[in-house]
């Protein structure tokens, strides 16, 4: 079974960097961004990985890591859970209000754990043996910026600058005659 990596890159696909070298094959991945300005972290990244421990045994584990403020380094990493051989976590994993939720590939249930509070895993609800999971939450209050009104008067895409008072209008790659406006 090959070892995997978790990598980060800029939104334009450049500055690619390996964030974590896994000890096995990744099964699921979930990111919970930090909305707290006092927290010196970009948020929490959790993943489930499966590795071969010897010729006949598989080990499936859930890990979480706290990310640096730029999201490109690991501040702290820990194994949150080692699954029993009878448990079969699937590819469904999501964060919701500080809690990690994941699905089971063979049973009609999903589970939850809170890495920050050390709440033990608990059965949450019934399901129909689903492979994916999503959580909906209230949106954070919107910040006003130069793109907030009428798309910043940009023809295509409006990107707020760091000061949030100015903006840059950019064009899709398919628009040959379009020019970037500042």
**Domain hosting residue 55, numbered range:** 5-126
Whether residues 171 and 116 share a domain: the answer is: no
pLDDT digit string, tens, across residues 6-51: 998 877 777 889 998 988 888 888 888 776 666 677 788 999 898 8
Q: Are residues 175 and 98 in the same domain?
A: no
CA angle (2 as vertex; 82, 91 as ends), nearest 5: 50
Predicted local confidence at residue 142, as pLDDT = 61
pLDDT score for 146: 87
Would you state the pLDDT for residue 124? 56
126-161 burial string, b = 16+ CB within 10 Å, else e?
eeeeeeebeeeeeeeeeeebbbeeeebebeeebebe
Averaged pLDDT, 58-64 = 88
The per-residue pLDDT for range 88-127, each reduced to its tens digit, is 787 788 887 778 888 887 777 777 777 666 555 555 555 5
pLDDT at 61 over 70: yes
Residues 68 and 122 in one domain: yes
Q: Are residues 106 and 173 both part of a single domain? A: no
Residues 34 and 100 occupy one common structural domain = yes
Structure tokens at 182: 């500042």
Judged against a pLDDT cut of 70, whether residue 129 lies above it is answered with no
State the total domains in the chain: 2
pTM attached to this predicted model = 0.65
Give strand ranges (E) for 115-171. 119-126, 157-160, 167-170
Residue 133 lies inside a defined structural domain of this protein = no
Give the residue from 105, 59, 53 showing the smallest Cα distance to 81: 59
Together in a domain, 106 and 152 = no
Write down the pLDDT at residue 139: 62
Q: Are residues 147 and 122 in the same domain?
A: no
Residues 63 and 120 in one domain: yes
> What's the pLDDT band for 70 if we cut at 50, 70, 90?
confident
Cross-strand bridge partners of residue 74 = 67
3 state DSSP class of 152 = helix
Return the CATH number at 120: 2.120.10.30
For residues 59 and 86, membership in a common domain is answered with yes
On whether both 105 and 175 belong to a single domain, the answer is no
Looking at the domain assignment, is residue 20 inside a domain?
Answer: yes
Per the domain annotation, does 105 fall within a domain? Answer: yes
Across the chain, where does the E strand assignment appear?
5-8, 17-21, 25-33, 43-52, 58-67, 74-82, 89-96, 99-104, 109-114, 119-126, 157-160, 167-170
User: 106 and 149: one domain?
Assistant: no
Q: How far is CA 44 from CA 30, 33, 53, 124, 150, in A?
A: 8, 6, 27, 22, 34
The tens digit of pLDDT for each residue in 132-169 reads 777 776 666 666 788 888 999 998 899 888 777 888 89
């Amino acid at each position: 079974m090959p070892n995997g990596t978790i990598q980060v890159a800029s939104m334009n696909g450049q500055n690619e960097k390996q964030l974590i070298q896994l000890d096995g094959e990744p099964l699921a991945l979930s990111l919970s961004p930090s909305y707290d300005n006092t927290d010196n972290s970009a948020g929490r990244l959790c993943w489930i990985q499966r590795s071969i421990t010897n010729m006949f045994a598989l080990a499936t584990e859930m890990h979480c890591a706290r990310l640096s403020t730029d999201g490109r380094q690991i501040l702290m990493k820990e194994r949150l859970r080692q699954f029993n051989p009878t448990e079969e976590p699937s590819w469904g994993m999501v964060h919701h209000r500080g809690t990690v939720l994941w699905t089971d590939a063979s049973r009609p249930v999903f589970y939850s754990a809170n890495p920050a509070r050390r709440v033990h895993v608990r059965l949450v609800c019934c399901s129909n043996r689903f492979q994916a999971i999503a959580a909906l939450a209230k949106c954070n209050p919107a910040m006003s910026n130069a793109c907030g009104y009428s798309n910043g008067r940009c023809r295509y895409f409006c990107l707020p600058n760091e000061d949030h008072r100015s903006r840059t209008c950019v064009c899709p790659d398919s628009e040959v005659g379009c020019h970037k406006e500042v």
